[in-house]
Amino acid sequence: MLFSLLVLLAAGVSAGFLSGLLGIGGGLLVVAALSVALPALGIPAVEVIHVSVATAMAANVLTLASSSAAHVRRGSVAWPTWRWLAPGMMVGGFAGAHLAQFLSAHTLRWVIATFCALMAWRMARRTRGAQDPNKAEHLPQSPWLLPAGAGIGALSAVVGIGGGSMTVPLLVALGVRPVKAVSTSAVCGLAIAISSALSYALSVHAPPQALPRGSVGYLYLPAAAVAAAGSMSLAPVGARLAHRLSGEALKRVFALFLLVVGALIAAGR
């Protein structure tokens, strides 16, 4: 049990740093750690991947709240864009979490691993053609951001992330500077985390096997608390570093992160 708690704490610390640095909740890293740690904490093997995703989303709430606060203090959030994205993300996150509960453990694991590989490839191939630093800033405010946000929210809830791997590339493609895209993604991810964690807690499709005490629906709150405690300590550090790195460096770090975590998920039980 001690080993499992240490794994979760280490994953939480890493996730917090990545949350601030990349505008993500570090959810994929926490999902990978949970899939290793949860069996020793009494979670039935057949429920491990679902509980891992749900618990990661619960931990994301505090992780992203910490990194969002750091970005807000720096005044780097594109609020006009956030107002169009966040409502769709909340709806999509709630619906996506319901959908994930009906997927088999095997299917859900490979959906997550495939998602990591595709997003890493997409970020790596966009490393050319960096934005001109002298180009006028653009803050998209289109109604089309609502359905885009819903799609991002739904997929994020299924794979256990804050949506940064999709939100950041979308905003950069629409003309938002990388640092501001990371900041806005962190605040958008908080909306996804709250709605999807609530959906997993309500658990429209109850776990087939009983979960240990401390569980609410598919959420295992003790594990979420340990991961979140670690994550909140380094989220502000990652946010500070994000403002010092170039946009191209951020994207390379992002691609490498996704490849490593995808391999961890695919290698799981």
pLDDT of residue 129: 45
220 bridge partner residues: 215
pLDDT of residue 43: 92
Q: Residue range 203-214: average pLDDT?
A: 82
pLDDT in tens, 13-43: 777 776 666 655 567 778 888 888 888 888 9
Cβ neighbours of residue 200 closer than 8 Å, sequence gap 6 or more: 53, 54, 57, 58, 97, 100, 101, 217, 218, 219
Domain ranges of the chain: 2-266
**Considering the chain, what is the average pLDDT of its residues?**
82
pLDDT in tens, 30-87: 888 888 888 888 899 889 999 999 999 998 898 788 778 888 988 989 999 999 999 9
Assign 127 a pLDDT band (cuts: 50, 70, 90): very low
Assign 126 a pLDDT band (cuts: 50, 70, 90): low
Give the tokens for residue 123.
């970020």
pLDDT of residue 99: 93
Q: H-type helices in 45-134, by residue range?
A: 48-73, 79-100, 105-125
pLDDT of residue 135: 59
Give the tokens for residue 119.
């997003």
Distance from chain centroid for Cα 80: 22
Q: Residue range 123-141: average pLDDT?
A: 62
pLDDT in tens, 173-199: 888 888 888 889 989 999 999 999 999
pLDDT of residue 24: 59
Q: Residue range 96-114: average pLDDT?
A: 89
Assign 133 a pLDDT band (cuts: 50, 70, 90): low
pLDDT in tens, 159-174: 988 888 789 889 988 8
Q: At what angle do helices 145-159 and 105-125 cross, to 10 degrees?
A: 130
Give this prediction's pTM: 0.82
Cα(86)–Cα(66) distance, integer angstroms: 18
pLDDT of residue 25: 53
Q: Check whether 122 has a pLDDT greater than 80.
A: no
pLDDT of residue 4: 75
Assign 11 a pLDDT band (cuts: 50, 70, 90): confident
For residue 135, the surrounding DSSP H or E stretch is none
